[in-house]
Amino acid sequence: MSSKRNQSKSIAYQEFGDRSNPEALERSVPDLPPQQQNIRIQATRSGRKGKTVTVMTGFQHSPETLNKLLKQLKSQCGSGGTVKEDTLEIQGDHRQKLLTVLGDLGYKVKISGG
């Protein structure tokens, strides 16, 4: 009798549909134009062994667009960086330079923190 139970593993109830299509379950990210985004720029050292990193938050872009933007900003600053979720990190303190570059691209940008 236990062999029959193992053979018939049909799902009686499934709330969120078919899990065989993982693209359908991903969160869609609205790719807003730069004029509709409020970006915060902050230099921080916490958790980075004393190294200063400029962190930009508030982007609402797809990962592909964020990677293109990061590549452009890294070349402007002449340093490395990375994308972590919806934030961009550039090595070093480049707040003023990033403020002007992002402002020229049409973003609403503010420097936060001290």
Q: Tell me: pLDDT of 1 over 80.
A: no
Cβ pair 75, 95 in contact under 8 A: no
pLDDT 10s digits, 63-100? 999 999 999 999 999 999 999 988 999 999 999 999 99
What are the backbone angles phi and psi of residue 82, rounded to the nearest 5°?
-150, 165
pTM above 0.75, yes or no: no
Split at pLDDT 50, 70, 90, the class of 47 is confident
pLDDT at position 8 over 80: no
Token pair listed for 3: 């062999």
User: Does position 25 have pLDDT exceeding 80, yes or no?
Assistant: no
For 30-111, CATH number? 3.30.780.10
Q: Cα(103)–Cα(109) distance, rounded to whole angstroms?
A: 6
Q: In this predicted structure, what is the pLDDT of residue 72?
A: 95
